[in-house]
């Protein structure tokens, strides 16, 4: 039995990008060693992280047989390709696959930068603008989801994995930006609850209250509150 797991994940508990990779590993029931970058919030990065992701110096990084893979959506696709299972993360049909990638990419382009910035903004024009953008883009996601069980239809897939980590941030969005996802986006809310019924998601998502506590503390440190 190998003393070192052949799959390692360099991560930080709070990171939605890290959560994506954890969900994918759980979906595929892959045994892996989780290595937390404990002092990431202080700006400190481990030697291993700097060596494994010299270009971006960011988590998550998956290390498989000693070889690093970076960028969360790229990691998730790698996991899907290398660890086969009954439930593929990407569909085999080329068009369905393209749509899956498109909406996962949409989360990266149009949701993450706003959701991850809004908590550190003081009341004012920038907060209002950021909130407006986020709301518009959430509206597009709500419309795309429609009456479907998941973004890809019946099957949980890449687009769901891309967005579901942000559901842990909804509580904080309400507290800091008065944005109630539950009220404004009932379909996304129901979808989030459906996703939480999956073991992989329940196990990987940080608790919304814990996210709120950390962000709240950081806001005080940054003088936002």
Partner 1 sequence: MVKQDEVKLIGVWASPYVARAMIALNLKGVEYEYIADDLFNKSELLLKSNPVYKLVPVLIHGDKPICESRIIVEYIDQVWASSGPSILPADPYDRAIARFWASYVDDKFFPANRVLFWGKDEKSIAEAKEQFLAALLQLEEAFVNCSKGKSFFGGDTINLVDIAVGSFLSWLKAFEIITGTNFLDKKKTPLLVEWAECFRSVDAATEVLPEAEKLVEFWKFAQAG
Is position 84 an interface residue for partner 1 (rule: CB under 8 A)?
no
Strands 33-36 and 61-64: unpaired
Is position 185 an interface residue for partner 1 (rule: CB under 8 A)?
no
Shortest approach of partner 1 to residue 187 CB, angstroms?
17
Is position 85 an interface residue for partner 1 (rule: CB under 8 A)?
no
Helix/strand/coil percentages in the chain, nearest 5:
60, 10, 30
Q: Are 62 and 79 contacting, i.e. CB atoms less than 8 angstroms apart? A: yes
Listed ranges 3-11, 90-98, 126-134, 191-199: which one lies at the site for partner 1 (CB under 8 A): 90-98
Q: Which of 87, 90, 140, 83 is nearest to 110 (CA)?
A: 140
Which is nearer to partner 1, 3 or 65 (by Cβ)? 65
Which is nearer to partner 1, 56 or 199 (by Cβ)? 56
Interface residue with partner 1 among 41, 50, 74, 190 (CB under 8 A) is 74
Is position 106 an interface residue for partner 1 (rule: CB under 8 A)?
yes
Is position 67 an interface residue for partner 1 (rule: CB under 8 A)?
yes
Q: Are 191 and 145 contacting, i.e. CB atoms less than 8 angstroms apart? A: yes
Which is nearer to partner 1, 38 or 139 (by Cβ)? 139
Phi, psi of 19 (to 5 degrees): -55, -40
Q: Residue 194: exposed, middle, or buried by beta-carbon count in 10 A (0-12, 13-18, 19+)?
A: middle
Which is nearer to partner 1, 74 or 190 (by Cβ)? 74
Is position 86 an interface residue for partner 1 (rule: CB under 8 A)?
no
Give me 212's structure tokens: 């709120």
Cα distances (angstroms) measured from residue 34 to each of 8, 21, 85, 111, 200: 6, 11, 21, 26, 15
Residues that bind partner 1 (CB under 8 A): 55, 64, 67, 69-71, 74-75, 77-78, 81-82, 94-95, 97-98, 101-102, 105-106, 140
């Amino acid at each position: 039995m190998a003393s070192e797991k052949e799959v390692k994940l360099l991560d930080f508990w709070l990171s939605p990008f890290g959560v994506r990779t954890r969900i994918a590993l759980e979906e595929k029931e892959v045994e892996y060693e989780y290595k937390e970058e404990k002092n990431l919030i202080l700006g400190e990065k481990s030697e291993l992280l700097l060596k494994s992701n010299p270009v971006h110096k960011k988590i998550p990084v998956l290390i498989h047989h000693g070889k690093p893979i970076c960028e969360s959506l790229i990691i998730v696709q790698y996991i899907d390709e290398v660890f086969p299972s009954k439930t593929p993360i990407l569909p085999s049909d080329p068009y369905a696959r393209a749509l899956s990638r498109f909406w996962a990419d949409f989360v990266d382009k149009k949701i993450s930068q706003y959701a991850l910035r809004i908590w550190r903004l003081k009341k004012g024009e920038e907060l209002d603008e950021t909130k407006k953008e986020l709301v518009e883009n959430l509206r597009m996601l709500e419309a795309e989801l429609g009456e479907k069980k998941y973004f890809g239809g019946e099957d949980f897939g890449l687009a769901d994995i891309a967005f579901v980590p942000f559901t842990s941030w909804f509580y904080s969005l309400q507290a800091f930006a008065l944005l109630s996802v539950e009220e404004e986006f009932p379909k996304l809310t129901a979808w989030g609850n459906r996703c939480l019924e999956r073991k992989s998601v329940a196990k990987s998502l940080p608790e919304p209250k814990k996210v709120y506590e950390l962000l709240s503390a950081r806001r005080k440190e940054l003088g936002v509150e």
